[in-house]
Amino acid sequence: MIQGEKIGLRARHESDVAVLHEELYEDVATRARADSRPWRPTPVESGKSPFTVTGPSDEAAYFSVIELKEGQLAGEALLWGIDTHNRMAHIGIALRPAFRGRGLSVDVLRTLCEYGFAVRGLQRLQIETLTDNGAMLAAAAGTGFTREGTLRRSAWVYGAYADEAILGLLADEWAPTKR
């Protein structure tokens, strides 16, 4: 497990899948804002849940987020689209509703940056989020990400187009957490 101040990132356990699927996937309106792919009705029992445990991959690193204080599953975090040639990756996080608003997102982002920069040796991490996602924009800014631009009407979100913000952080801009 890679530990932050309030959270830990660990490998996904089979017992995490049903909880994440129910709270993060079955909430269609929220999932449509978090994933560029269209939502499809997918029963967790099908083995095709986006949270299903898979083996290691060169293209993505999937984590379960654990709140350290209580040891509870708080959500998911991932690096995806890992490009080993250009040494960059994209970041994604999703917290269960009961864990939102607790200030965990900044710690999740900092811990993902530690994994991406210190463990994987990447030189750039990137976040794409809807421009009205104030919580993610604030967490990214609090982690040191720079807003690099806006992609106008680039996301189809539950019946309407929305703008996306692009944020980036370079390895030499990253300030590791002192332990």
What distance in Å separates the CA atoms of residue 171 and residue 121, rounded to the nearest whole number? 9
CB 26 within 8 A of CB 40: no
What global pTM score does this model have?
Answer: 0.94
Q: What residue ranges do the domains of the chain occupy?
A: 2-173
C-alpha 80/C-alpha 156 separation (Å) is 20
Q: How far apart are CA 166 and CA 128, in angstroms?
A: 5
Lowest mean pLDDT: which of 9-18, 27-36, 123-132?
27-36
Euclidean distance between CA atoms 132 and 65, whole angstroms: 24
Are the CB atoms for 75 and 99 separated by under 8 Å? Answer: yes
Domain 2-173 coded CATH 3.40.630.30: yes
pLDDT one-digit tens code per residue, 100-149? 999 999 999 999 999 999 999 999 999 999 999 999 999 999 999 999 99
Query: Residue 179 pLDDT more than 70?
Result: no
